[in-house]
Amino acid sequence: MRSVVGECLHNIQILGGAIVSVTTDGFITNIENLEEKIYSDNRLKKCCLLKIYSQLRKNLAFRDPKLVVDALEIKYKGVGIIS
């Protein structure tokens, strides 16, 4: 997970986003729909750790795949970057 977070932080920088806080298993950023933007940006690697992590989550939820849609989860959404 830490390597996925590290890769996401690098990709946020490339996308021109801001990072407010980073913990062992998460971060706060101002980029909405980050996972979609990472996958669709030609500057970023198409075969990335985030994609592998997403597939692993889907494999672990094999009994009910609709439980896992994305690799990244929004834990809280508020108004402004720091809410």
pLDDT digits (tens, 9 = 90+) for 62-82: 777 666 667 777 676 666 655
Give the pair of three-digit tokens for residue 55: 């597939």
Please say whether the beta carbons of 57 and 69 come within 8 A: no
Q: Where are the domains of the chain?
A: 2-67
| Chain Cα centroid distance, residue 22 | 13
Q: How confident is the model at residue 52 (pLDDT cuts 50, 70, 90)?
A: confident
Cβ-based neighbours of 64, under 8 Å, separated by 6 or more: none
User: Would you state the pLDDT for residue 66?
Assistant: 67
